[in-house]
Structures are given as C-alpha cells and as structure tokens.
Amino acid sequence: MAVLVTGGAGYIGSHMCWLLEEAGEDLLVIDDFSTGFQWALPDSAKVYEGDVGDQELLAQIFKENDVDAVIHFAGSIIVPESVENPLKYYLNNTAKSRSLIEACVTAGVDKFIFSSTAAVYGDPEVVPVDENAPLKPLSPYGTSKLMTELMLSDVSNAHNFRYTALRYFNVAGADPKGRTGQSTKNATHLIKVACEAALGKRGHLGIFGTDFDTPDGTGLRDYIHVWDLASAHYLALKRLRTGAGSIVMNAGYSDGYSVRQVIDAVKAVSGVDFEVREEPRRAGDSPKVVAQNTRILAELDWKPEYNNLPKIVEHALNWEKKLSLRNSL
C-alpha cells in the first residue's frame, strides 16, 4: 500500500515525503516540477512527472500501484498573484483538485488529506480563531482553497471517501536534519525573507505596517514548524486509517508572534543586525491570525516538537545557508 503525495517536490510536500520515508511507507509522488525540485525528494520515492489535474496519468498511477491514500499539496500559493490572476488559482487549486478527487473516487481511493489554509477565515473577528468561525476569504487564493474544502465535504457525503482538511497557519522552518527546506525563489514569507536579509541576500527587511491594533503595532501570526506540520499530516492519515470520519482542523500552535519579535529572533539566532525599514501596510494583511488548536491536539494526539521560534529560525537559517552553497555550485 502506497501513499501518493501531490506536489511532493515542493516545500511542505518534500518534508512530508521524508517523514513518510522515515515511517517506512511506500511513497509515490506526482509533481510538475514548476516550483519543486527532484533533489528535495528521498531516493525511495517513485516519481511521476506531470499535472495533478491529468486524469489519464492519475488513472495510470492508481492502476500501477496499490494506493491507500492521497496527500494533496500541489497548488499555487501566492496571495497577491491570486488577486491579479484569479483564474490561475481556480484552475490550479480548485479545478485540478476536482479532477484529482474524481480520479480517487473512480479508483476507490478513499482517504484524502488536503492542504487548506487559514486564509479561508480572512480577517478573523475572534482570535485565536476556531474551525467554526465564519469563512470569509479575502483573496482568490483563500476562496480557491475553500471551494476545494466544500467539494471534499460534498463528495465525502456522497461516496465512500473520507478526508481531512488541515488549515495551515504560517508555515516556516526546515527539515531539522537539513535534507530539504523552503527553496523557491522570490520568497515573500517573513521568516524566509528575514533569513535572506541576515545572510546578505537582500539589502534590508521591510516591516509592512507598524500601526496595527497589536501589542507592538506589527502583524501577529502563528508560525508553525514545517516538520510538526508534516507530522500532523501523518497522524491525520493514521486517524483516517482507523476508519474515523472526515474532519477539518486548524494546524497552528495557538501562539502569536509579531513581526518585530520574529525579526529579533532572526537577529539573535544569526548574530547579524541587518537593516529594517518601517513601511506601509501590505494590502489585504490582517492584524492578527492565530489558531485555536484544541481540535487538532485532541483529535490527533499531536505533540509538536518545535513550538519554539528560535528553533524554527535556526532551521530556516541553516537551510538558507545550504541553499546558498547549492546555488553557488
């Protein structure tokens, strides 16, 4: 029995692959390598290069292998790009997910884990936000993911098909063993950008807004270590294997850190006092997005190992250094 990871060569997907390999699972990957890297994958992965919306390829994968479950990471993830090009997001995140789900139903693959996002809440009224909060995405990215959640719910009511949707908060850090990390170019996420500034890969770091209604005026986020996130997926898979029903869960630590706190952590861990500039707010940014995580803790017996901002930063920084070496070869 194998687990099929879509987008397995990407940032979160590649961590999932290493974790599954360590757990002794048979591993299949489908990836179009548009943003992922073959070198990020363990050698044991059987890789299909192609499109996750290609039903012929999916049918072939399901025919050639005994697939127990699908973990679906493939998709587009840049919020501002989704505003400029919404149809790309409704194609990559919604329409192609529909094709994948249909291929699963046709092939009788009955367990599915989906990468959803805290962006489905938009600007939450109550923080920490729980899973029953109103779903009001502020971008086509958030809407494209929410539409897939809704499809999953309907399909699980109609067919022999159970799913878990994990709503990710701010994913950061890298494999503690240094095998993979966030490698896509032109990163916009705070911890990655701050690590690049610390290593001199960019001249300065901008703080997007210092006048929010938060303790120090900068945005508050719930940063979750990518390895803990991968382990939550594996526990979610094990839960579905027990026959448990479909569920939606927040994936975060329930701790909020401000932009200034993150910058202080990156400066402390790196020992570099890089330049920081206060800039205007970025369009669409919420002041506070922090998870209520009681459901995932209870349902999965999830015990995060890296709920520690300096550790997250240390791993991100180590990976950033490795990436510099790799890119200079």
Nearest to 195 by CA among 316, 14, 91, 45: 316
Q: Is the peptide bond before 140 cis (omega within 30 degrees of 0)?
A: no
Nearest-10 Cα torsion for 103, 92, 123, 293: 40
Which residue of the set 89, 141, 168, 223 is catalytic?
141
Query: Of 44-52, 147-155, 183-191, 242-250, which part binds ligand UDP (CB under 6 A)?
Result: 183-191
Kindly determine how many residues on this chain lie close enough to bind ligand UDP according to the rule CB under 6 A: 14
Question: 130-137, long-range: CB within 8 Å, 24+ apart, which pairs?
Answer: 130/250, 130/292, 130/294, 130/295, 131/167, 131/248, 131/249, 131/250, 131/292, 131/295
Q: Are 157 and 163 in contact (CB under 8 A)?
A: no
Which residue minimizes CB distance to ligand UDP? Answer: 219
Separation of alpha carbons 168 and 303, rounded Å: 16
The two most distant CA atoms of the chain are separated, in Å, by 56
48 vs 141 by CB, closer to ligand UDP: 141
111-130 binders of ligand UDP (CB under 6 A): none
Does position 155 bind ligand UDP by CB under 6 A?
no
Does position 198 bind ligand UDP by CB under 6 A?
no
50 vs 206 by CB, closer to ligand UDP: 206
CB 220 to ligand UDP: min, Å: 7
Does position 60 bind ligand UDP by CB under 6 A?
no
Does position 208 bind ligand UDP by CB under 6 A?
yes
Does position 76 bind ligand UDP by CB under 6 A?
no
Cα angle 108, 147, 145 (rounded to 5 degrees) comes to: 95
Does position 74 bind ligand UDP by CB under 6 A?
no
Does position 201 bind ligand UDP by CB under 6 A?
no
- Write the DSSP symbol of residue 92: I
Nearest to 230 by CA among 25, 7, 20: 20
Separation of alpha carbons 11 and 73, rounded Å: 9
Query: Of 25-33, 52-60, 125-133, 188-196, which part binds ligand UDP (CB under 6 A)?
Result: 188-196
CB 28 to ligand UDP: min, Å: 29
Does position 221 bind ligand UDP by CB under 6 A?
yes
Does position 190 bind ligand UDP by CB under 6 A?
yes
CB 211 to ligand UDP: min, Å: 12
61 vs 316 by CB, closer to ligand UDP: 316
The residue type found at 311 is: K
Separation of alpha carbons 96 and 94, rounded Å: 6
281-320 binders of ligand UDP (CB under 6 A): 282, 285
63 vs 277 by CB, closer to ligand UDP: 277
Active-site residue set = 141
- In the complex, the residues that contact ligand UDP under the rule CB under 6 A are 170, 188-190, 193, 205-208, 219, 221, 259, 282, 285
